[in-house]
Amino acid sequence: MTLSALIFDVDGTLADTEEAHRQAFNLAFAAAGLDWHWDQNLYTRLLSVTGGQARIGFFLEQSQRPALADPHIAELHKSKTAFYVEAMQAGRVPLRPGVERLLCEARDQGLTLAIATTTTPVNFQSLIESTLGRAALDWFAVIGAGDCVENLKPAPDVYLWTLDRLGLEPSRCLAFEDSANGLKAATAAGLATIVTPCPYTKDHDFTGALSVHDNLDEPERVDVAFLRQLHGRL
C-alpha cells in the first residue's frame, strides 16, 4: 500500500509546547486570584489527562480542592489560552528539530499533511503562524483539533475523524506522536506511529510504536525516504 499522508500531533510533537502550556496555566491561576501552582513534576503527572479543562478538573479532584462549575473551568481555560497564544506570538517556542524540514520534504514529494490533536484550533494556529507563517496553515489538508470530537486521546476519535475527512485508509498513512496517550489513540485508529518523546513524556511506555526517535534529526534523520522504507515493511 502506497504511503499517501502524514498525520501529526501538535503539543510535544511539532514543538516542545508543554512548558509553555504549564506556564500559561500558572499565569491564568494567578490572574484569577487562585493560589494554585503547577510545578514541572506535578504537570508531568497531570499530562496523563488530555484536554486543558479536563486537566483542571482532574487536578481539583486529586488535590481534594472544592470543585468548580464547568463555566468557571471554561473561563479559566480561556484565560490560560490567551496567555499561551501570547507566548506563541512572541516567538518563544520553536519547532522541534527536523519538523520544518520533514514538512517541506513531504509537500515537495506529494504527501498529504494533516493534524490530529487534542489542543484547541487557536493554539495550533498560533504555533504555526509564529514558526512557519500564516500561509503554512494551508499546508495541512485536514486539521483535527480538540473541538472536533467528544472523546479526546487516548480515544482514537480525532484520528478517525481526520482519516474520514482525508478519505484514506489508515494503512496509507503514518502518525507522529510524543506521548503514550497519543500512541494509544493513533494505534487504536489503525495507524502505524512514529514517536518523538518530549521532556515531559520521555519516560512513557511506547510499546507498539513503529519507531522511536529523540527527534526527527537525531540519532538518525527521519526523512521521506526513511518513512517510505518503514511503511513498506508493514
Told to judge if 39 belongs to the known catalytic residues of this protein, a careful annotator would answer no
C-alpha cell at 88: 506563541
Told to judge if 35 belongs to the known catalytic residues of this protein, a careful annotator would answer no
Choice among 11, 16, 157, 178 that is catalytic: 11
Choice among 9, 16, 157, 178 that is catalytic: 9
* Positions marked active-site: 9, 11
